[in-house]
Structure 1
Amino acid sequence: MKIFNLLEDNINDRYLDQIVEALRDGGIIIYPTDTIYAIGCDALNNQAIETVCSIKAMKSAKTNLTIICHDISEVTEYARFGNREFRVMKNNLPGPFTFILPALSRLPKAFKGRRTVGIRIPENKIACRIVEQLGHPLLSTSVEGKDEDYMCNPELMAETYANSDVDIVVASGRGGIEPSTVVDCTAGGFDILRQGKGELVL
């Protein structure tokens, strides 16, 4: 496992290249978002998604999956939404929100059978630079915390996952403990499934 220290105002391009190369090779990373640190992989690599699900002990076929996109234009390739949803996403993104939208078929096998996908565009330059350079979305699932200190501390996460399939920990200082606000857009409205860090602006 490698640990790369990156700050939003000082992103080392050499480290970024290595992170993206690892993702393209099916690697797994822990990385910062604008809420909680996340475990992720190339969202179009089916085997890597299954590995993330194994690390988190998730049943991939029954678990809601979330992807991080670079911008709303990229979201159109993976999810279906109308003008109302576009306006609300534009009002709130980038930001600490997960929008649940109908999934499109471009997503890989691990998404098959799911009718929805979670969409995030975090207000975090590191996550967004990784997605931009990768050229397509990252899978995103929060690092589960044993306690508050663990959830904030990437060095402790690196110790915990040292013998796992995690290849790189992107350490960017202390993370947050409050998750994103989850907004379900699939029933014609904007239903808050989980109130988190973000206050939705309609």
Structure 2
Amino acid sequence: MAEFIRIYEENPNPREIEKVVNVLRDGGLIIYPTDTVYGLGCDITNTKALQKIARIKGIKLEKANFSFVCADLSNLSDYVKQIDTPTFKVLKKALPGPYTFILPGNNSLPKEFKKKKTVGIRVPDNRIATEIVKHLGNPIVSTSIYDEDDVIEYTTDPELIYEKWDNLVDIVIDGGYGDNNPSTIIDMSNGEFEVIREGKGPIDF
């Protein structure tokens, strides 16, 4: 049974954030709000947790395109090769915001992602998500929670999410209604600017 925790974005309760962080450190999975759709996340450094998410998504871990949720751009150099000034300017302008940027990965990636040439980086404009990452001290690996229902690809009501995911995760955070529009994905891994998916974020950099 997952725990259902209400956290308010305007003023995230530090005790509740700490509870979530402890679950992540213990290899638990969480469902949490972002500035787009609700995400399924775990600690990037915990292999067992990463494997659990891959199993839930029905994919091999080394083939998974999970994004890394960071608190701000200062985490970037931990996982991304040095990026040029024009790329950094775009990131600085767009983040925090509803974007996933695909960037060239470096040699410090966790071993499960070593074979990947690129990583998807996300800095959501949502205080619940960024406070969790800040207190954890490293990014969380994240993936959107799709619904099999074609009419509603993304469930927005935390209580319905809880009903559906109750047995699969350790904590579902109720941070209010989510969006049903995913992030805009932009590939900047080779110095070009290529929109892979148009989502919530406008492309007017």
- TM-score band by shorter chain is over 0.9
Where does residue 173 of structure 2 map in the other structure? 170
Report the CA distance shift for 1:149/1:185 in structure 2 as closer, same or farther (over 3 A): closer
TM-score (norm 2): 0.94
Amino acid aligned to 1:148: I
- Partner of 2:126 in structure 1? 124
- Amino acid of the residue matched to residue 108 of structure 2? R
Structure 2 unpaired stretches of 5+: none
CA distance in 2, matches of 1:17, 1:197: 30
Q: Aligned pairs, how many?
A: 201
Change over 3 Å in CA distance of 1:101–1:150 after alignment to 2: closer
* Cα displacement (A) at 1:109: 2.0
Partner of 2:38: 37
- Percent identity for Structure 1 against Structure 2: 44
Residues 149/190 of structure 1: CA separation in 2 closer, same or farther (3 Å cut): closer
C-alpha distance in 1 between matches for 2:28 and 2:107:
23
Match of 1:58 in 2: 59
Question: Any conservation in 1 of the 2:184–2:195 contact (CA below 8 Å)?
Answer: yes
1:98-177 equivalent positions in 2, closer than 5 A: 98-145=100-147, 146=149, 147-148=151-152, 151-164=155-168, 166-177=169-180
Q: In the aligned structure 2, how far is the partner of 1:108 from the partner of 1:191?
A: 26
> Structure 1 unaligned runs (5+)?
none
8 A contact 2:145–2:154 mirrored in 1: no
Partner of 2:201: 198
Residue deviations 1:144-174 (CA, integer Å, cap 9, x gap): 123539610111111112222x100011111
Q: Which amino acid aligns with 1:168?
A: I
Deviates more, 1:120-129 or 1:12-21: 12-21
Q: Secondary structure at the match of 2:155?
A: helix
Q: Distance in 1 between matches of 2:153 and 2:65?
A: 26
| TM-score of the superposed pair, with normalisation by structure 1 | 0.95
Task: Please list every run of at least 4 consecutive aligned residues from structure 1 whose deviation after the TM superposition is greater than 4 angstroms.
Answer: none
Please list the CA deviations of residues 98-141 of structure 1 after superposition, one character each: whole Å capped at 9, or x if unmatched.
Answer: 00001122221221211110000000000000000000101110
Cα offset for 1:82? 1.7
Aligned-residue CA RMSD in angstroms?
A: 1.4
Question: Is the contact made by 1:91 and 1:201 (CA closer than 8 Å) also made in structure 2?
Answer: no
For the residues of structure 1 that align with 2:184 and 2:18, how far apart are their CA atoms? Answer: 31
In 2, the alpha carbon distance for the partners of 1:96 and 1:6 equals 20
Between the aligned partners of 2:79 and 2:204, the Cα distance in structure 1 is: 23
Confirm or deny: 8 A CA contact 2:87 2:191 kept in the other structure.
no
Rate the CA distance shift 1:149–1:192 in 2: closer, same or farther, 3 A.
closer
User: Which residue does the alignment assign to 2:183?
Assistant: 180
Match of 2:146, SS state, is coil
